[in-house]
Amino acid sequence: MEPSTRTRAPRFASALSTESDPVRAQECVLGELRARLGEDVPDLVVAFATHHHGPALEGLGPALARATGAPIVLGCTAESVIGGEREAEGSPGLALWAACLPHTAVRTFEITAHAGEDGEPAFSGLPPVGEHERSSVILLADPYTFPMDAFLGRLNEAFPGVPAMGGMASGAMGPGQTLFFTADGVRDSGCVGVVLEGETALHPVVSQGCRPVGKPWVITDCDRNQIKKLGGRPALEVLIETWNSIPEADKALLQRAPFCGLAIDATRTQFTRGDFLVRGIMGLNQRDRAIAVADFVRRGQTMQLLVRDAESAGEDLRFLVAHQGGGPLAPGQEDSVGVLLFTCNGRGTRMFGAPDHDARCVRTGLAAEIPTAGFFAAGEIGPVGGRNFLHGFTASVALLRARLTPGA
């Protein structure tokens, strides 16, 4: 779809229904969207729905296109959905998000994966990205049929610097149970998404929710995902030394869920938020005195031990949204910014002990009631250090608003 010029500035709306009846749920969310958008016709409608809505989901995409007039509909099924400041965990849910995007081209795509001749994953294509500096990508994919890690590697090579945000659909028990909604119908595998290019900017916020313990160390010997030496010393020895030096509360966190941060930029010596890619520690190799982590590592890379708790995760999300969201809003301009929130299905009440945590943190960070929709994902997509990655236990926030300087 070519750029829209119907409105002068972007405009967004969101709605959530927890009705179990599919007809009533659709009537509820569509009525709320109409009330918020008035006469504006959205260029894009995004929908997230739980499996409670059953067979009605197969016709959801075309029904939304007809009801809203939107030429492009995108969405997927999920374990739990998000709308506004509510996270509808463990209940029926249908969340809609509508965007009027002036001077912005919206291009939809569908991609499948298959085994290549060399045994590595191959893909049916790439997103239709045009001008890199003015483009962004939103991705939804099936965790059973789409190797997102490999795809993001291809994406980073083809379109360096173009942010990709999204999530792996959740709530399915196996292949064929995930559903993706489009204006043309439904599909049950692969990856769907949209490319946005033009005067609507996507500000990516990736909150990995960890804080450092101990000090950073340089990897001096490694093999694939095995860290053998840190600063010339056996890696396991460094880990034990760090363990003995930290408070008891941090020991408990590290024992329950051990993480490490891998620096993206090997040339840096000072590190702040967003400089590390968070990965889990998978095991300890007593024989080789090595540490196994959930990613490949390289010599010269800096590693930092990390812990995650509810307090640090909440503080991290609020801080990043406030500082990376594009700046404060003028009074009365809340609907000129829209948020798509992809949060890990291990967060929510499982992590924070209370509902609606991440959705409320986003609004607190922006100090405004921003139209928000999203879902609890089985893997979250977002850039760290200028490269796109698949994350876990992360809140990935795609914040859309007008570019501060046209053409920038």
Q: Please check the confidence at residue 70 and state whether its pLDDT lies above 80.
A: yes
Residue 6, in any domain of the structure: no
Residue 1, in any domain of the structure: no
> Residue 144: which pLDDT band, with cuts at 50, 70 and 90?
very high
CA-based torsion, 362, 364, 365, 369: positive or negative: positive
Unique residue bearing structure tokens 């408070």: 247
Q: Please check the confidence at residue 1 and state whether its pLDDT lies above 80.
A: no
Lowest mean pLDDT among 97-101, 218-222, 249-253: 249-253
pLDDT (0 to 100) of residue 408:
45
Looking at the structure, do residues 192 and 237 belong to the same domain, yes or no?
no
pLDDT (0 to 100) of residue 82:
98
Looking at the structure, do residues 282 and 254 belong to the same domain, yes or no?
yes
Better-predicted residue by pLDDT, 274 or 257: 257
pLDDT (0 to 100) of residue 407:
44
Q: DSSP states of 190-234 as a string?
A: SEEEEEEEESEEEEEEEE---EE-S--EEEEEEETTEEEEETTEE
Helix (H) and strand (E) counts in the chain? 8, 28
Q: What is the domain extent for residue 115?
A: 11-207+313-402
Q: Please check the confidence at residue 4 and state whether its pLDDT lies above 70.
A: no
Element (H, E) at 338: strand 338-344
pLDDT in tens, 115-139: 988 888 999 999 999 999 999 999 9
pLDDT in tens, 99-120: 999 999 999 999 999 998 888 8
Q: What is the mean pLDDT of the chain?
A: 93
Average pLDDT on 59-88 reads: 98
> Residue 202: which pLDDT band, with cuts at 50, 70 and 90?
very high
Looking at the structure, do residues 162 and 112 belong to the same domain, yes or no?
yes
d(CA 407, CA 200): 10
Q: Please check the confidence at residue 225 and state whether its pLDDT lies above 90.
A: yes
Looking at the structure, do residues 226 and 88 belong to the same domain, yes or no?
no
pLDDT in tens, 313-335: 999 999 999 999 887 777 888 89
Looking at the structure, do residues 200 and 265 belong to the same domain, yes or no?
no
pLDDT (0 to 100) of residue 327:
77
> Residue 209: which pLDDT band, with cuts at 50, 70 and 90?
confident
Q: How many domains does the chain have?
A: 2
Residue 17, in any domain of the structure: yes
Residue 338, in any domain of the structure: yes
Q: Please check the confidence at residue 3 and state whether its pLDDT lies above 80.
A: no
Average pLDDT on 336-348 reads: 96
Residue 230, in any domain of the structure: yes
